[in-house]
Structure 1
Amino acid sequence: MLPLRDENPHPPGFKPKLTIALIIMNVIVFGIEVAITGQFIEFSNREAMNMFLTWGAVPGCVTGQIDGVNTGMGIVNCPAIPELTLITSTFMHGGIMHLGGNMLFLWIFGDNIEAKFGR
C-alpha cells in the first residue's frame, strides 16, 4: 500500500519550496550516478562500487578506523574528508525504485515538516 497524499491542511498559498528543491537535487544526483555507472535499475558494476564507497558514508572511514575498503575488485581508499560523506550519502540512491520510493515519501511528508518549521 503506497500513500498518495496526506490530509494535513496548510496555509493558503503554501508551496513546499524546500521539498521541491530537495527532490530536484536528488533527481540530478541520480542522473549523475547513471552517467557515471552507465546503469539505471541497479548499480552493480565496478564504477558503481567505487562511486558508492567514495561518496557514501562508510562507517569505518568516517570514524577513521580504516583507510580503504577491499571490494573484491580492488581497494577503494577512503575520501580525504570522510565526514563530508555524511551529507553526500543522503543524496545517493541504489536504483530507480529506491529513488522513486524515497521521493514519493519526501513529497508526501516533506511539506508537513516544512510547514511545521514555519518556512
Structure 2
Amino acid sequence: MSILYQQALTIVRPGIREDEYGNEKPDWATGVTRIPVDGVNVQPSGGSTEDTDDRQVTVTGWRLYTPRGMDLDLRETDRVEFAGMTLQVTGKVARWPAPGGGIHHIEADLREVD
C-alpha cells in the first residue's frame, strides 16, 4: 500500500425518523451507524474562510481520496470523523470508473465548521 493511504476515519450515518408530515428526516440523536475505515487519504482542500456576520465561524475544506480499487459506502448525507474533527460531506461523492469496469477510486469534499 502507498504511504499516501495510511489514514483512518469513521463514517457516521444518521438514523431516520419521520416528521409530522410523514417525510423521512435524518436523526443524529438515535439510530446513528458508525463505519470505521482504514487506508484512505484526507488532505486540506480549498483553504479556510471566515464568516463574521452573525458570529465568528471558520470553515475549512478537506478532500478524501481512496486508493485504486477501493469503494466506500459514503453518502452525501453522512459525516466523517477524522483527526478529532467532525466533517460534513459536501455535495456528491465522486466515484471514478476503472477501465474495464468497477471503481478506480472515490473522492469526496468534506468541510469542517468550527
Structure with greater contact order relative to length (CA < 8 Å, sep ≥ 6):
1
- Structure with the bigger percentage of strand: 2
Structure having the higher Rg: 1
More helix by share: 1
Category of TM-score, reference length = shorter chain? under 0.3
Taking structure 2 as the reference length, the TM-score comes to 0.24
For normalisation by structure 1, the TM-score amounts to: 0.23
